[in-house]
Chains A and B, each alone.
Chain A
Amino acid sequence: MIQLKVNGATRKFEGDPEMPLLWYLRELLELTGTKYGCGMGLCGACTVHVDGKAVRGCQTTMASAAGKSVVTIEALKGQHPVQKAWMACNVPQCGYCQSGQIMQAAALLKEKPKPTDKDIDDAMQGNICRCGTYQRIRKAVKMAAGVRA
């Protein structure tokens, strides 16, 4: 049996330890804010925090999440500075990639509160936005960090 914390609540899981965290969150806990985009760690749509670090839910097995604390977009409740900046900049188009973008950006700012353009490039390049909202993402990250655009 695997035990882990999801958004603060303790959860027990008895299924296939190879099941990716992404599908556990989406299908068993019905936390569908975390999205599927590729299943191969290539797009970032499934980004969540595990012990405070941004990881790809599709590449994180339940076995490796055992004993860890998982935070998903649902836990941010619209109150995170990154979310506020996202709304101020009208970032989303279709919005599908944005849970992952926001979780990735939130982790970046935790690690580097005043990121440079290069930091933003490096941290965000794993998150694809097919609608092409990248320049607003960059702007919103800077706004949330309080650095000059």
Chain B
Amino acid sequence: MSENTLHVVERRAFLKYTFGAGALILGTHVEAFASSADTAVFHPSVYLGIEPNGTVILIAHRSEMGTGSKSTLPMIMADELEADWKRVKVEQAIGDEKYGSQNTDGSCSIRDFVEIIRTAAASARTMLEQAAAQKWNVPAAECQAKNHFVVHTKSNKKAGFGELATAASKLPMPDKKSLKLKTDSEFRYINKNVPVVDQQDLCEGKGVFGLDAKMPNMLVASIEHSPVYGGTLVSFDAAETKKVPGVRDVVTIDRFKPPHNFQPLGGVAVLADTYWAALQGRKKLKVEWNLGPNASYDSDRYRDSLVAAAKQPGKIVRTQGNVEAGFASAAKIHEASYSTPLLSHAPMEPPAAVAEFKNGKVVCHAATQNPQAVQETVAGALGIDKKDVTCHVTLLGGGFGRKSKPDYVAEAALLSKKVGRPVKVIWSREDDIRTDFYHSTAGMYVKAGLDAGGKPTSWLHRSVFPSIGTTFDEKAEYAMDLEMGMGWNDLPFDIPNHQAENGPAKNHIRIGWLRAVANVYHAFAIHSFVDELAHLAGKDPVEYALSLIGPGRKIEMNPVGMKYWNHNQDQKTFPVDTARLRNVIDLVAQKSNWANRAKGGNGHGWGFAAHRSFLTYVAVATEVKVEGGRVRIPNMHIAVDAGKTYNEDRVLAQFEGAGVFGTSIAMMSEISVKDGKVQQSNFHNYNVARLPEAPETVHVHLIKSDAPAAGVGEPGVPPIPPSIANAIFAATGKRLRDLPLRKGLRA
């Protein structure tokens, strides 16, 4: 067998597409798991390749969990390349550092990659044009790529991309500076409402999620974890379990070694022919745990302690002027405490993955936001090299941050190693809600010294919460830069004396990032407080907020004791620009007809909040109707400046969805813990918004902007809860300072 034939066999076994012979000529170094783009005849970038038959293969290296990034990045490439979208194959990348970060998290898929992929596609287009020019012996400047062909108008010549691919592959890469990017008016797919690549599959039940992935001869596992975070296994009795038809094995997984990072929690796994049999077997399992030091954790008491701690001085994380002097000279002082609970991500698809360990290597299919973290975590758990972990990424039935932490994939790999067969791990909804990486609970205190006109001259905001940092350092007690930089110490208010302080919080449970992260609780406290101040001053909340923000200007954030995080972007490219914040506020006021709104009372009112996060500016006006303990949201207006957008319909969808996600957080979601055990287990007691509870219409108003692309998936969420709380105040006169609001409303 020649080397090339060998490669063909390997590739046929692993790749989705079968290639014509020409495709193989340049496939000099074909790895068993190379993407089709790598092995295409022309692949000027890791993100794209062109086959001799003209098929353009575009690699989606970011995960698809509903934001559209699997489609939007390839669509941008197709547009810049002048490819015909109908002749494009989008292929989901495996985890591989050659793609750059694949961590689909932090609302940065477009922001971090748009330039790279447009450059790659423009280079490819230019090379195809040059190849045609050579072929026809005409100047390259006269050749133009158009919808999968290169044309020479003068001589009426035309050649397909496939026909030119081999010749193009022999040309040098063009200098980046010589590339001509398309202008906005030339776009054919960008912002043209092209459906996502999986749309039809998703409407026909054909999309393959982690829960649907399979491997030949696999067993399915359900795992009993310690009911208390950090508990260790004492003993178990599987005699009855093993009698359940279909159950094949019961094996243990060791507890993580602190810090837990993304390691498996540890537990007892029931492996069976089907998930149903595994669940039946698990019910019969008798397990004894040493629950450990967190068995006394009580989230209500803990939350009270955070609120109390926030009343005490903490570590200064931003300061300007002199707040104490400001308070001393103030005409009036206003202060308030706010709190928020733990939250569970509860994506509709619970964590699921299938893995096979064979000959020292792992192959897995996982619903993951971060296949490179899968490689590292699995490699760490099994003591192998991460290069020996191949992670195929399925569709994700929602992620919201949960699925960037691949403990469940490591479980599948460990179990496969133990039982010598592929193993699929499915977390039940109960597993998901009881042992999540929870969105942090927080206690906050805000104090303002006001001048005679009711405007603050002095502002103190203390925030205390267990940090995500405890994932990587179990002893961490203070916030990470990124948590502080999320709508807290980057507050863009025009107040001379300003201080932010962070108190210590010992952690007792896994804390993780959830859609919009620390912005959620900071925005709730800050924008509720602003509304309180507006009412105290007898001013319109929108006008009052504008006066706090002050004139349009770019603020250089230099808080003390930390580096201003700014979502890992420099402040030159992504400044804190109050002019843009003012714009979205003006727009939301105009679109919601704020000036003529129902003025409140009688259970009907409007609330407002505006917040910058993920480099995006968002203002929200929400209408509520309160009937007893029930809140209806007939209208919610969201005005957005996310910089330049590339898939407008998906941008709108993300903000519509944020309206619903934010409503869940505002109104009804809460995880509580007693004796170290999470009290909620499924959707009857972990409440999320259903259709009648969601805003009836979320009106999204996008500002057309040429600023660099900013975040879209997350920044819609933070201003929603305060806008609802403020609307409830307008409707009922009840100021609710603790989430979820429904509890206070019914109290």
Give bound CA distance, A125 to B682, whole Å. Answer: 16
Q: Which residue of B276, B346, B350, B398 is within 8 Å of A94 (Cβ)?
A: B398
Residues of A within 8 A of B400 (CB): 130
Q: Please provide the 9 A-B residue pairs with the shortest distance between their CB atoms, ordered closest to farther.
A: A33-B205, A132-B660, A96-B397, A95-B202, A94-B66, A93-B66, A73-B205, A132-B657, A23-B276
Interface: A133 (CB within 8 A)? yes
Q: Which of B349, B656, B697 contacts A133 (CB 8 A)?
A: B656
Q: Is B236 an interface position by the 8 A CB rule?
A: no
Taking a contact as CB atoms under 8 Å apart, the answer to whether A130 and B205 are in contact is no
Q: Is the CB of B429 within 8 A of A35?
A: no
B456 at the interface (CB under 8 A from A): no
A98 with B203, Cβ < 8 A, contacts A35-B348, A90-B193, A134-B694 known = yes
| A102 / chain B contacts, CB cutoff of 8 Å | 203
Chain B binding surface SS class: loop
Interface residues of A in 6-53 (CB under 8 A from B): 15-16, 19-20, 23, 27-28, 31-40, 42-43, 45
CA distance A95 to B698 in the complex (A): 20
B736 within 8 A of A: no
The reply on B689 being an interface residue by CB < 8 A is yes
- Is the C-beta of B653 less than 8 angstroms from some C-beta in chain A? yes
Contacts of B698 in A (CB 8 A): 135
Complex contacts, B275 vs chain A, CB 8 Å: 23, 27
Q: Known contacts A37-B349, A92-B202; can you find 8 more A-B pairs with CB under 8 A?
A: A92-B198, A94-B66, A94-B348, A94-B395, A95-B202, A95-B207, A125-B692, A132-B661
13 A-B interface contacts by CB (under 8 A): A15-B245, A32-B205, A35-B348, A43-B429, A78-B200, A94-B398, A102-B203, A125-B692, A128-B348, A129-B348, A129-B660, A129-B691, A135-B656
The docked-state distance in angstroms from the alpha carbon of A93 to that of B652 is 11
Q: Check if B321 is an interface residue, CB within 8 A of chain A.
A: no
Q: Taking each of B349, B396, B658, B695, which has the highest tally of chain A beta carbons within 10 Å of its own beta carbon?
A: B349
Residues of chain B with a CB closer than 8 A to A120's CB: 691
Q: Return the CB mask of B196-213 against A: 1 if under 8 Å, else 0.
A: 101111111111110110
Q: Is B101 an interface residue (CB 8 A)?
A: no
Determine if B678 is an interface residue (Cβ-Cβ < 8 Å): no
Cross-chain contact B274 with A136 (CB below 8 angstroms): no
Contact check: which of A34, A78, A133 meets B657 at CB < 8 Å? A133
Q: Does B29 lie at the interface of the complex (its beta carbon under 8 Å from any beta carbon of A)? A: no
Judge whether A133 and B653 touch: CB under 8 Å: yes
Contacting pair A128 B690 (CB below 8 A): yes
Within 8 A of A (CB), among B679-724: 682-684, 688-692, 694-698
What residues make up the interface of B, taking CB atoms closer than 8 Å to A? Answer: 64-68, 193, 195-196, 198-209, 211-212, 220, 245, 274-276, 280, 346-350, 395-400, 426, 428-429, 649, 653-654, 656-661, 682-684, 688-692, 694-698
- Which residues does chain B contribute within 8 Å of A42, judged by CB atoms? 682-684
Q: How far is the CB of B206 from chain A (nearest CB, A)?
A: 7
Kindly provide the distance from the CB of A6 to the nearest chain B CB, expressed in whole angstroms: 13
Partner of B204, one of A40, A78, A94: A78
**Contact call B398/A39, Cβ cutoff below 8 A:** no
What residues make up the interface of A, taking CB atoms closer than 8 Å to B?
15-16, 19-20, 23, 27-28, 31-40, 42-43, 45, 72-74, 76-78, 83, 86-87, 90-99, 102, 120-121, 124-138
Residue contact A34 to B205, C-beta cutoff 8 Å: yes
Report the bound CA distance from A28 to B429 in whole Å. 21
The minimal Cβ–Cβ distance linking B630 to chain A, given in whole angstroms, is: 13
Docked CA distance A94–B656 (Å) = 14
Q: Within the assembled complex, what's the spacing in Å between the Cα atoms of A107 and B261?
A: 45
Main secondary structure of the interface of A (DSSP, over half): loop
Cβ contacts under 8 Å, B696 to chain A: 135, 138
Contact in complex: A132, B204 (CB < 8 Å):
no
| Cβ-defined contact, A98 with B202, below 8 A | yes
Question: Are the CB atoms of A78 and B203 closer together than 8 Å?
Answer: yes
In the bound assembly, the distance between CA atoms of A39 and B625 in angstroms comes to 33
Q: How far, in angstroms, from A121 to B632 measured CA to CA in the complex?
A: 12
Q: How far is the CB of A143 from chain B (nearest CB, A)?
A: 13
Report the minimum CB–CB distance from B310 to chain A (whole Å).
31
* Contact partner, B65, options A27, A91, A94, A127, Cβ 8 Å: A94
Q: Which of A39, A72, A130 is the most central at the interface, judged by chain B CB atoms within 10 Å of its CB?
A: A130
A33→B661 CA distance, assembly (Å)? 25
Decide: B691 and A134 in contact? CB cutoff 8 A. yes
Note all chain A residues with C-beta closer than 8 A to B682.
38-40, 42
B159 CB to closest chain A CB, in angstroms?
Answer: 35
In the complex, what's the smallest C-beta–C-beta distance from B453 to chain A, in angstroms? 40
| Residue of chain A at shortest CB distance from B663 | A132
Quick one: which of B193, B658, B684 contacts A132, CB cutoff 8 A? B658
Residues of chain A lying within 8 A (CB to CB) of residue B396: 94
**Complex Cα–Cα for A96 and B199 (A):** 11
Given known A-B contacts A27-B276, A77-B204, A96-B348, A121 and B67 have beta carbons under 8 A apart: no
Q: Are B205 and A72 in contact (CB under 8 A)?
A: yes
Nearest neighbor of A86 in chain B, beta-carbon distance: B203
> With A and B bound together, what is the CA distance between A20 and B280 in angstroms?
12
- The answer to whether B195 and A87 touch across the interface, beta carbons within 8 angstroms, is yes
Contacts of A74 in B (CB 8 A): 204-206
Measured between C-beta atoms, what is the minimum distance from B490 to chain A in Å?
A: 27
Most chain A CB inside 10 Å of its own CB: which residue of B66, B220, B688: B66
CB contacts (< 8 Å) of B203 on chain A: these are 78, 83, 86-87, 91-92, 95, 98, 102
Q: Closest residue of chain B to A123, judged by CB?
A: B691
Q: Which residue of B lies closest to A140 (CB)?
A: B203
Q: Which residues of A contact B201 (CB under 8 A)?
A: 95
Chain A residue numbers with a CB within 8 Å of B654 are 93
Measured in the bound complex, the distance between the Cα atoms of B389 and A98 in whole Å is 32
Smallest beta-carbon distance A89→chain B, Å: 10
